[in-house]
Each structure stands twice: as structure tokens, then as C-alpha cells.
Amino acid sequence: MEEEKRSVKPWDMWNDDVPRATDEVRDERLSICMSCEHLVKFTKQCKKCGCFMAIKTKLGPAECPVGKWKAV
């Protein structure tokens, strides 16, 4: 049986069991988001998933809702 994927939530930032992305991965993800047509630049919030990308990009298992970057 295939393991079910768990989507990350904003409060996972306070959960030490959720792995963090390295600074390099976080920076690369955020750079991709900053040039994305689905980003509200003022708040750095994704129009597709509603997440604040400054937080979501720090979480290792997080993924872009339109497939521009994957979990690590």
C-alpha cells in the first residue's frame, strides 16, 4: 500500500517533527514564487493554495500547488 501524502499546514512551523528545508532550498523556492503569476506580491501569498510563501517555502514536505517546486 502506498503511503498517503500529508499536506503541510501553516502551524507546522511550530511542529518540530516536520522537517525544514535548507536555506538554499527555501531561497530557491521563494525566488520561483516571486516570479510566479499566482503570487500576490504585496503579501507574498499564493492565489492557488492561499499560503504565505515566506512560511511555506521553509517546510521540507511542502509542494507548489501548480508543480513549480517539489517536496524535499
**Integer Cα distance of 43 and 41 in angstroms:** 6
pLDDT band with cut points at 50, 70 and 90 for residue 3: very low
Q: What pLDDT does 9 receive?
A: 83
> Per residue in 4-57, pLDDT tens?
456 788 788 889 999 999 999 999 999 999 999 999 999 999 999 999 999 999
C-alpha cell at 55: 512560511
Radius of gyration of the chain (CA): 12
What's residue 1's pLDDT? 36
Predicted local confidence at residue 6, as pLDDT? 60
- Rounded Cα gap, residues 21 and 56, in angstroms: 10
pTM: 0.85
